A and B are shown apart, each in its own frame.
Chain A
């Protein structure tokens, strides 16, 4: 059963990535691909700092900050230079590839012989690494979820949420939507880099390709979480769903790997799962609406609910 616990421990640190992707993809409605570069940025920076003897907590905090800067860059490219969202993300991701190589000095950085958060705490508390990772992962996730719950409840947080829903209304209400997007993307990528900083310490190395496919992993976690917590009205529950989704995703991967699925096939399987999940939620939504068999299965995307309301209203208005 150890491999399941390990999967859960990994899921909890990858959940930070999923929470970051949730901010860009769901809250800001911005398909941000910089994610693949920022998770590696977090891992490379933390590893480099650790090999230089830095305090693990400091390394983690600096990685978060670096991720924020990278996210703000994507936001800047999009809002100030008017580059489309996908391309802005790709540009940051591409630039970060070089940055990450420079930070690490090579494509790989081993942390075998350096002090990490996990090695120093397993020694200090004389506790098994898997249990320790579960505890750290749970605490960090709870702290991040609490912080996000608070932040998105503030005036600034509410204006970021509103920006993702109706930008024109936001500007009419005096919200600087360029600024809210930049802040939202900075926060999103900060969390993604934070995830990278934990991942490298957990697995004991950092690699330039660590981020490949991470956007899909983030999306898979969000979709699984939303499918399970489809009725969540409370924002904290939505966030919990995403963390649970990330854990389930990692456990499933751990199981298939346990049954000797070749590692190189994991990514194609993930892509397949996301496609299937997206298709099923769409289809289930339609079925649910027509026949009320499945109820509100899956996540009814905000704009779908909106256009439904629009259709209902339009039905009565034939004066135009």
Chain B
């Protein structure tokens, strides 16, 4: 592990309730604490409604939280609006439609991503030099997109769009990469390809990443650390050798042990 002991992400006891004060009140995050070291690639699993997406959205600043603090590389971002936090964060969503602009060209989408965290000025939106760089990056995805740079993104398949979104999220080497079930909407073969690209980009840019997945096998096979969430808290945190020894069965057993309940995640069970 790194000797630099400022964590890349530090979640300090954050809480978030939806519909507070009503009968529908739902405490989605309940004093959640989590520290990510520089270079940690953490897979996140948990039952339906455990708070995985809420945690990622809270870190990204999609909504304000009720209590606690979020620090990215030592900077307290708790009160920064979403678009300002984006300077530190790359994101890929579950819905392949969500991460790109369908009605814009592949290269236009990349050019927008290449300006994450920078002022958008009256300079031309894409330069010739950038085009060359984008072409090389697209070629590395090995999906043939480098020859379709002026095609509208809406014409791409879901897998191609997720790969492009990954490229856009990592283009500016974010301090933090947040992946929320980004392969869940893809067929198994495409999902495997997108995961392979994910691994490649994370190691290439030496990123710190949180990857939510409902596929326990993927959660075990990828990353250096695995956390399990339940009722808005982390109930299991394993890394290193211990993580490599995990099996799907041992994970489900650990879940019941730590939460006192049976593991419920409709999609995870289907994928067993």
Check if A166 sits within 8 Å of B102, measured CB to CB. yes
- Quick check: is B236 within 8 A (CB to CB) of the other chain? no
A154-B86 contact in complex given A309-B154, A310-B97, C-beta closer than 8 Å: no
Residue of A nearest to B119 (CB): A155
- Quick check: is A169 within 8 A (CB to CB) of the other chain? yes
Nearest CB of chain B from residue A259's CB, rounded to whole Å: 41
Check if A162 sits within 8 Å of B116, measured CB to CB. no
A172-B99 contact in complex given A158-B108, A317-B158, A320-B267, C-beta closer than 8 Å: yes
Task: Name the A residues within 8 Å of B152 (CB-CB).
Answer: 305
Interface positions, chain A 265-310, Cβ under 8 Å from B, are 302-303, 305-306, 309-310
Q: Which of B37-45, B132-140, B141-149, B183-191 contacts A (4 or more CB under 8 A)?
A: B183-191
Task: Name the A residues within 8 Å of B118 (CB-CB).
Answer: 174
Interface positions, chain B 88-132, Cβ under 8 Å from A, are 89, 91, 93, 96-104, 108, 111-113, 115-118, 120-125
Task: Name the B residues within 8 Å of A175 (CB-CB).
Answer: 83, 112, 120
A72 to B136, CA, bound (A): 41
A173 to B169, CA, bound (A): 8
- Quick check: is B168 within 8 A (CB to CB) of the other chain? yes
Check if B103 sits within 8 Å of A305, measured CB to CB. yes
Task: Name the B residues within 8 Å of A148 (CB-CB).
Answer: none
- Quick check: is B29 within 8 A (CB to CB) of the other chain? no
A157 to B60, CA, bound (A): 25
Task: Name the B residues within 8 Å of A158 (CB-CB).
Answer: 104, 108, 111-112, 120, 125
Residue tally, chain B, CB below 8 Å to A: 47
A187 to B184, CA, bound (A): 41
Task: Name the B residues within 8 Å of A166 (CB-CB).
Answer: 97-98, 100-102
Residue of A nearest to B266 (CB): A320
Residue of B nearest to A309 (CB): B154
Nearest CB of chain B from residue A221's CB, rounded to whole Å: 21
Interface positions, chain A 140-183, Cβ under 8 Å from B, are 151, 153-159, 161-162, 165-166, 168-177
Check if B101 sits within 8 Å of A319, measured CB to CB. no
Check if B121 sits within 8 Å of A173, measured CB to CB. no
Majority DSSP secondary structure for residues of A touching B: helix
A174 to B112, CA, bound (A): 9
- Quick check: is B256 within 8 A (CB to CB) of the other chain? no
Which of these, B89, B124, B168, contacts A154 with CB under 8 Å? B124
Check if B103 sits within 8 Å of A165, measured CB to CB. yes
Task: Name the A residues within 8 Å of B186 (CB-CB).
Answer: 317
A316-B98 contact in complex given A161-B104, A174-B86, A306-B154, C-beta closer than 8 Å: no
Task: Name the B residues within 8 Å of A319 (CB-CB).
Answer: 187-188
A168-B112 contact in complex given A162-B104, A302-B103, A316-B187, C-beta closer than 8 Å: no
Which of these, B84, B89, B121, contacts A155 with CB under 8 Å? B121
Residue of B nearest to A172 (CB): B91
Task: Name the B residues within 8 Å of A168 (CB-CB).
Answer: 93, 98
A173 to B142, CA, bound (A): 24
A165-B82 contact in complex given A154-B121, A175-B120, A320-B267, C-beta closer than 8 Å: no
Check if B158 sits within 8 Å of A174, measured CB to CB. no
Task: Name the B residues within 8 Å of A313 (CB-CB).
Answer: 96, 157-158
Nearest CB of chain B from residue A241's CB, rounded to whole Å: 17
Check if B187 sits within 8 Å of A317, measured CB to CB. yes
Which of these, B84, B99, B104, B184, contacts A165 with CB under 8 Å? B104
> Which of B103, B121, B122, B158 is packed against the most chain A CB atoms within 10 Å?
B103
Task: Name the B residues within 8 Å of A157 (CB-CB).
Answer: 125
A309-B102 contact in complex given A156-B122, A319-B187, A320-B267, C-beta closer than 8 Å: yes
Task: Name the B residues within 8 Å of A173 (CB-CB).
Answer: 86, 112-113, 115-116, 168
Check if A154 sits within 8 Å of B125, measured CB to CB. yes
Nearest CB of chain B from residue A8's CB, rounded to whole Å: 32
Interface positions, chain B 65-92, Cβ under 8 Å from A, are 81-84, 86-87, 89, 91
Interface residues, chain B, with chain A CB atoms under 8 Å away: 60, 81-84, 86-87, 89, 91, 93, 96-104, 108, 111-113, 115-118, 120-125, 152, 154-158, 168-169, 184-188, 267
A sample of 29 cross-chain residue pairs with beta-carbon separation below 8 angstroms, ordered by A number, consists of A153-B124, A154-B125, A155-B111, A155-B115, A155-B124, A156-B122, A158-B120, A159-B112, A161-B101, A161-B104, A166-B100, A170-B83, A171-B82, A173-B116, A173-B168, A175-B83, A302-B103, A303-B102, A305-B103, A305-B152, A309-B155, A310-B97, A313-B157, A316-B187, A317-B185, A319-B188, A320-B184, A320-B185, A320-B267
- In the complex, the 3 A-B pairs of residues with the closest C-beta atoms, listed nearest first: A174-B86, A158-B125, A302-B103
Interface residues, chain A, with chain B CB atoms under 8 Å away: 151, 153-159, 161-162, 165-166, 168-177, 302-303, 305-306, 309-310, 313, 316-317, 319-320
